[in-house]
Amino acid sequence: MGRPHPCIFKIEEGRGGDGSLLTPLCYEPSLVTRHLRDDGATATSTVPGSPPRRIDTDKAEILLLKAHPIVASHLSSARYTLDNGILTPEQRAFYEDNGFIAIKGLVADEDLERYRDRFERICRREVTVPGIMIMRDIAIAKSKIAAQDQSSVTKVQDFQQDPILFMYCQLPEILQYVECFAGPDITAIHSMLINKPPDTGRSLRVAAGLKTSRHPLHQDLHFFPFEPADRIVCAWTAMQHIDRENGTLVVLPGTHKGDLKPHAYPEWEVREGGVNKLYHAVRDFDPATPRLHLTMEKGDTVFFHPLLIHGSGMNRTDGFRKAISCHFVSGQCHYIDVKGTSRENTEEEIIGMYRHNFDKDAKPSLIDVWHWKARLVKGRTLQL
């Protein structure tokens, strides 16, 4: 399978024309789009051996990035990637700088169709999976839709005991890249098949425009009581064409280099129809940070760091947008006590969800719940 040919782009924020912020970025052609906000942002492409080419843009224009070769940076001090011969030096440098990398066409159509069929059978209650959480968007829940099909399910979560869906977490093509970040000892810790519902209302028979399908910007480490963060990675695979219309991922490149920030429910929780359980939003980050909306085709897979700020927008189409994902952790990782940290506000909710779905009389610790979510994939498991 061919590897992406990286390129380098500098996104310049036009703050009064001073061009003070320069962020190096490189992307697979046609896989990533940059939405230029209304703040006068412009882009400059840099090709080795040629002068920079400035691209002027109108407001809210979507810029399709083109691929150009770059010379890899020195990786002797690499922090976020490991050298297992899978990533090229250019790809490692890209992840080091940006906190994510997208691999085109990584997962085969037949595998994705197998997962889609299994998901639909679970929604129709034709199969019962121990320990799986079936989750509904708040707008669907409020509408009291009783349909036993995918139209009433936002995602299935924690499918570590399902023999079909868990195949995704065991795919050699996925694991070879996971090893680039987590090393050879790999545990699947948090698995999801996401069925983002439309916000138009037509498919759901509920009021349109509630915007509940969007997932606010956040850092995944906020929800995880284990470290070190640099040995955790998410694999997120598109099960269909995904773009801004149906609510693709938006990432803030380079934010993985910062600290874990405080999170809370977004301010629009009450004002605009509510928010889904545990859809916490990051606080205290620079809103001028450049944002990238990933345009992905079926089978394309993005791997990203748990401190990378990311989210997804509304689904403005009439269909459901599907993706399958799993977080993986290294055997080097260990559990931590979140009390007294910014992660403490997740503890009660995560335990509460477990009790609500499986055992109302149980009194598990947060570590108990995450230990239940985990399943060893390869090597030795994370330290307890």
Residue at 352 is within a domain: yes
| Domain co-membership, 344 together with 255 | yes
Q: Which of 4-13, 137-146, 296-305 has the lowest mean pLDDT?
A: 4-13
CA distance from start to end of the chain:
37
**pLDDT above 50: residue 28:** no
Q: Of 128 and 233, which is predicted with more confidence?
A: 233
| Domain co-membership, 41 together with 147 | no
| Domain co-membership, 55 together with 130 | no
pLDDT of residue 147: 56
- When pLDDT is averaged across residues 160-186 and rounded to a whole number, the result is 98
**pLDDT above 70: residue 243:** yes
Q: In this structure, what is the dihedral angle of CA atoms 116, 119, 123, 128, given to the nearest 10 degrees?
A: 150
| Domain co-membership, 181 together with 298 | yes
| Domain co-membership, 165 together with 314 | yes
| Domain co-membership, 171 together with 86 | yes
> 62-116, pLDDT tens digit by residue?
333 333 344 444 577 899 999 999 999 999 999 999 999 999 999 999 999 999 9
**pLDDT above 90: residue 13:** no
Of 24, 47, 70, the one marking the end of a domain is 70
Are 300 and 103 a contacting pair, CB within 8 Å? yes
**pLDDT above 70: residue 146:** no
Of 22, 51, 70, the one marking the end of a domain is 70
> 305-343, pLDDT tens digit by residue?
999 999 998 899 999 999 999 999 999 999 999 999 988
Domain assignment of residue 4, given as a range: 1-70
| Domain co-membership, 42 together with 181 | no
Residue at 209 is within a domain: yes
Q: How far apart are CA 66 and CA 165, in angstroms?
A: 35
**pLDDT above 70: residue 200:** no
| Domain co-membership, 188 together with 310 | yes
- When pLDDT is averaged across residues 206-217 and rounded to a whole number, the result is 66
What is the band of 281 on the pLDDT scale with cuts at 50, 70, 90?
Answer: confident
**pLDDT above 70: residue 50:** no
Nearest to 318 by CA among 238, 219, 201, 195: 201
Among 128-137, 202-211, 243-252, which range has the highest average pLDDT? 243-252
Q: Of 279 and 127, which is predicted with more confidence?
A: 127
Task: Please state, rounded to an integer, the average pLDDT across all residues of the chain.
Answer: 78
| Domain co-membership, 305 together with 219 | yes
Task: Supply 133's token pair.
Answer: 């959480």
| Domain co-membership, 103 together with 54 | no
Residue at 307 is within a domain: yes
- Kindly report the backbone phi and psi dihedral angles of residue 323, in degrees, each rounded to the nearest multiple of 5, phi listed first: -150, 155
- Kindly report the backbone phi and psi dihedral angles of residue 292, in degrees, each rounded to the nearest multiple of 5, phi listed first: -125, 130
Residue at 384 is within a domain: no
- When pLDDT is averaged across residues 249-262 and rounded to a whole number, the result is 96
What is the band of 269 on the pLDDT scale with cuts at 50, 70, 90?
Answer: low
Residue at 383 is within a domain: no
Of 25, 51, 70, the one marking the end of a domain is 70
- When pLDDT is averaged across residues 166-192 and rounded to a whole number, the result is 98
> 353-366, pLDDT tens digit by residue?
788 777 878 888 89
pLDDT of residue 342: 86
Residue at 46 is within a domain: yes
**pLDDT above 90: residue 6:** no
Residue at 363 is within a domain: yes
Q: Residue 226 is part of a domain; what is its CATH number? A: 2.60.120.620
The fraction of the chain above a pLDDT of 90, given in percent, is 49
- Kindly report the backbone phi and psi dihedral angles of residue 196, in degrees, each rounded to the nearest multiple of 5, phi listed first: -60, 120
**pLDDT above 80: residue 201:** no
pLDDT of residue 64: 30
* Residue bearing tokens 């934010």: 255
Residue at 152 is within a domain: yes
| Domain co-membership, 211 together with 329 | yes
**pLDDT above 70: residue 9:** no
| Domain co-membership, 32 together with 112 | no
Nearest to 25 by CA among 4, 46, 2: 46
pLDDT of residue 11: 35
Tally the domains of the chain.
2
184 CB contacts (<8 Å, ≥6 apart)? 378, 379
pLDDT of residue 46: 34
**pLDDT above 90: residue 244:** yes
HEC states along the chain?
CCCCCCCCEEEEECCCCCCCEEEEECCCCCCEEEECCCCCCEEEECCCCCCCEEECCCCCCEEECCCCCCCCCCCCCCCCCCCCCCCCHHHHHHHHHHCEEEECCCCCHHHHHHHHHHHHHHHCCCCCCCCCEEECCHHHHHHCCCCCCHHHCCEEECCCCCCCCCHHHHCHHHHHHHHHHHCCCEEEEEEEEEEECCCCCCCCCCCCCCCCCCEEEECHHHHCCEECHHHEEEEEEECCCECCCCCCEEECCCHHHCCCCCEECCCHHHHCCCCCCCCCEECCCCCCCCCEEECECCCCEEEECCCCCEEECCCCCCCCEEEEEEEEEECCCEECCCCCCCCHHHHHHHHHHHHHHCCCCCCCCHHHHHHHHCEEEECCCCEC
pLDDT of residue 212: 67
Q: Of 239 and 284, which is predicted with more confidence?
A: 239
Q: Which of 148-157, 174-183, 184-193 has the lowest mean pLDDT?
A: 148-157
